[in-house]
Amino acid sequence: MKNNDNPSTKEKNSQLDITRLTKSTWDLAREAIQSGKTDDALRFMEQGLNLSTKQQDSLVSFVGMAVTHLAGCGEERLEKLYRERYTPRAKEWIATTPGAKESLEKFVSHMANPHTKIVITEEPGRYVMSLDPCRTGGRLRRGLCAGLSDSADFKIGATKRAWPWSWGKTGVCYYCVHSCLLFEIIPIELRGYPIAVINYADKPEDPCVFYFYKQPELIPEEYFTRVGKVKTIK
């Protein structure tokens, strides 16, 4: 029986496409768009989205596991960690994003994701943004983040005490409490009022809601007292 396979053909077919392997999916998508290959471009974009989602989920789940272990040595340690991490970011946010509208736009630019349903409504004194789920803590709480742990028994921890930095609540995800410090407590300490007020969802299946008040004097006093602060702007 005659073998029609040519050794040189076999070798050619088995060679790695080094150029293809070393290009990012975004570069491949860009090239496909420039070449008018719409179907290829969409395929590469989907591949890039799936990869970036898995990478972010992995990072979020790792942070969730790490802060859960840290809290096992004392929940109060989380406040120090998050203050060191987010005070510079809060300062930068305040300096570059002066108003409620700008803060809302900046936040949405960070959270916009095909896996997150964002609903924004405008009320007389504030903008209301709903995240279902938040692309980080919300996905983590719903068990959507890949690579959480090899152990099915491992759970991301939640506050056992009602701390000011957990909105005066128990049962707040250790990962999510950073938002209380970043958007509420630290800005209040820096300028007298929060960047945004957060209605943390008690149930993982519910959306988290953010309130961006157009004027600081419109923020109800209860949103200051629940985080251990006093409203000074009247």
Per-position DSSP letters for 151-175, written without gaps between them: -TT----B-SS--GGGTT-SS-BTT
In the prediction, which pLDDT does 98 show?
82
In the prediction, which pLDDT does 149 show?
47
Instruction: Supply 129's token pair.
Output: 């943004």
Give the CA distances from residue 178 to residues 17, 33, 65, 221, in Å, rounded to whole numbers and listed in that order: 44, 40, 14, 21
Rounded to whole angstroms, the maximal C-alpha distance in the chain is 94
Give the CA distances from residue 33 to residues 39, 48, 136, 234, in Å, rounded to whole numbers and listed in that order: 9, 15, 30, 54
Instruction: Supply 118's token pair.
Output: 């964002």
Asked if residue 141 lies in contact with residue 157, where contact means CB atoms within 8 angstroms, the answer is no
In the prediction, which pLDDT does 199 show?
97
In the prediction, which pLDDT does 146 show?
57
Residue 199, amino acid: N
Asked if residue 179 lies in contact with residue 137, where contact means CB atoms within 8 angstroms, the answer is yes
Domain spans of the chain, in order of start: 7-225
What pTM value is reported for the model?
0.85
- H helix intervals, the chain: 7-14, 18-21, 25-34, 38-71, 76-96, 100-111, 137-141, 177-180, 186-191, 222-225
Peptide bond into 133 cis (omega under 30): yes
Token pair 């989380």 is found at 78
In the prediction, which pLDDT does 143 show?
85
Q: Count of CB atoms within 10 A of residue 169's CB?
A: 16
Could you say which residues of the chain have pLDDT below 50?
Answer: 1, 149-150
